[in-house]
Structures are given as C-alpha cells and as structure tokens.
C-alpha cells in the first residue's frame, strides 16, 4: 500500500507535519531538541461518566492492554527511545492516564535514572459519575529530566496542581476530544525552556503546544497523523499569529 504524502505547514515560529510521528522522529538529528511536551493518544474504557461508557480517544484502533515491555496501550514503545535520542538532555513532559504512570516511571526513572514530577490537572467541571465510581476529574502530566532545564519563576509557576474547568469554548472552536488548557501548557514550557529553544510535540493534536510556543517565543516542531486535527492545528496557529500581529 502506498504511504500518504507528507504535508508540512511552516511559519516563522516553527513547522508542523501531517505525518506519523515515528517516521518524523527518525528524521530528526540526535541531541537537537531542547524540550518535549506531548499528549499521546490513549484509551479510557468504561468510565461511565454521565451514566454512559465512553471512549476518550479514538484516533486509531488500539488494544488497551499491557504491551510486552509493560507500556499500557496508546503509545508505540518504539517512540520512547526516539524521544530520548533527539533531546539534548532528557527534558520531557508527557500527559498520560493513571494506568500508564507506573510504566513511564519504570522506563524513565528506573531504567534511565531520571528525576520526575507529577503535574495534576483537576477538572472542576467534570461530569457526574454513577455505578459507585469516583469522578474522572484528573489528568496527569509526568515531567522527566536528567540535566534538563527547570526554573519556575514564582510560587504560581512552581505548583504541581491546577484546578480549572475544561475550556468548552476552545473545544468548540478547535474540535479535539482532549484539548489541554493553554495556560498550563505555557507554564510548563516557560518553566523548562528558554526563548528561542526548540520544543517538540510528536502528538500535536489541536496544536496547543505550538500555540504556546508561538506566544512564548519558542520554536515548535510538531507531528499529527490525523488529518482533521492537523488542519485544526494549522488554523489555530495562524489565528494566534494573526492576534500577535495586531
């Protein structure tokens, strides 16, 4: 089967590709990226939020079972060593569900001897649950570093818990099932990079990382396999640039 052609969208602030991230990563030179911030696809099964079973992410059919090397479904294990290879030093934020936390800790902390933090986003407008379950009101972002740059400039930017609702307006204007709050992403990028640094997001989604980089004066590099989300990211980045140029 013929592979689809690779599309690219360039601005003065960076480049995004409509391409499988593993193919894209393999073309990036060693030790050329300052920071990675990404939100890989993962499946959440039988949450019963609002009384209904829902699938949080369906970018592709993925078996949400433990892989041979211990990674819970949603992320090709071959991606992880590529992420490490392209970084100048290990300096990486990765959003995940709670089932994946032990596996990421095993890889980055136990195998690579990284230090880590767990950033938590508590969604204050999470839907109610039934069937004797706790609310699905948290998302987790793991930060791994080994010589990486991390310098919060205030008490607010140093905190590891954020209490805020899902931005319904953003999700309506830039459709994506798991859009992350821009202010949180900007804080993390600001804490762990410097102006002009290159920030990679191999699972770009609706482009939040690229938008944050544009507003903060960082260079972004992103990959998104889903054509609809790639177009959403293009439009969102251009909307951001247009606002900055006003």
For residue 180, what pLDDT is reported?
A: 87
Domain ranges, ordered by start, for the chain: 7-244
Q: CB of 213 within 8 A of CB of 194?
A: no
For residue 156, what pLDDT is reported?
A: 92
Among 81, 63, 60, 83, which Cα is nearest to 73's?
Answer: 63
Report how far residue 36's alpha carbon sits from residue 142's, in angstroms, rounded to the nearest whole number.
11
- Encode the chain in three state secondary structure: CCCCCCEEEEECCEEEEECCHHHHHCCCCCCCECEEEECCCCCCCCCCECCCCCCCCCCCCCCCCECCCCCECCCCCCHHHHHHHHECCEEEEEEECHHHHHHHHHHHHHHCCCEEEEEEEEECCCCCECCCCCCCCEEEEEEEEEECCCCCCCHHHHCCEEEECCCHHHHHHCCCCCCCCHHHHHHHHHHHCCCCCEEEECCCCCCHHHHHHHHHCCEEEEECCCHHHHHHHHHHHHHHHHHHCC
3.30.930.10, 1.10.1660.10, 3.60.20.10, 3.40.50.150: CATH of 7-244: 3.40.50.150
Q: How far is CA 222 from the centre of its chain?
A: 10
Among 148, 159, 14, which Cα is nearest to 93's?
Answer: 148
Q: CB of 121 within 8 A of CB of 135?
A: no
For residue 73, what pLDDT is reported?
A: 54
Per-residue pLDDT of the chain (246 residues; tens, 9 = 90+): 445 568 999 999 999 999 999 999 999 999 999 999 999 986 544 333 333 233 333 323 333 333 444 455 567 888 999 999 999 999 999 999 888 899 999 999 999 999 999 999 988 877 777 677 787 788 899 999 998 789 999 999 999 998 887 765 555 555 445 678 899 999 999 999 999 999 999 999 999 999 999 999 999 999 999 999 999 999 999 999 999 986
What's the predicted TM-score (pTM) here? 0.84
């Amino acid at each position: 089967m013929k592979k689809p052609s690779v599309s690219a969208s360039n601005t003065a602030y960076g480049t995004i590709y409509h391409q499988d991230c593993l193919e894209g990563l393999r073309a990036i030179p060693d030790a050329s990226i300052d920071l990675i911030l990404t939100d890989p696809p993962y499946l959440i099964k039988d949450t019963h939020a609002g009384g209904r079973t829902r699938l949080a992410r369906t970018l592709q059919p993925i078996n949400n079972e433990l892989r041979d090397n211990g990674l819970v479904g949603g992320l090709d294990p071959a991606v992880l060593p590529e992420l490490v290879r392209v970084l100048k030093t290990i300096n990486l934020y990765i959003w995940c569900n709670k089932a994946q936390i032990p596996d990421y800790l095993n890889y980055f902390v136990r195998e690579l001897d990284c230090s880590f933090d767990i950033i938590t986003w508590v969604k204050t407008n999470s839907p109610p649950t039934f069937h004797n379950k706790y609310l699905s009101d948290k998302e987790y972002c793991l930060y791994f570093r080994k010589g990486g740059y991390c310098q919060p400039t205030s008490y607010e930017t140093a905190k590891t818990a954020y209490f805020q609702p899902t931005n319904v307006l953003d999700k309506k204007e830039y459709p994506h099932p798991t859009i992350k709050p821009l202010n949180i992403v900007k804080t993390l990028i600001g804490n762990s990079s410097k102006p002009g640094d290159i920030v990679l997001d191999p699972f770009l989604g609706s482009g939040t990382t690229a938008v944050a980089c544009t507003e903060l004066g960082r260079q972004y590099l992103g990959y998104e396999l889903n054509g609809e989300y790639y177009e959403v990211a293009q439009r969102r980045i251009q909307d951001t640039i247009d606002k900055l140029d006003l």
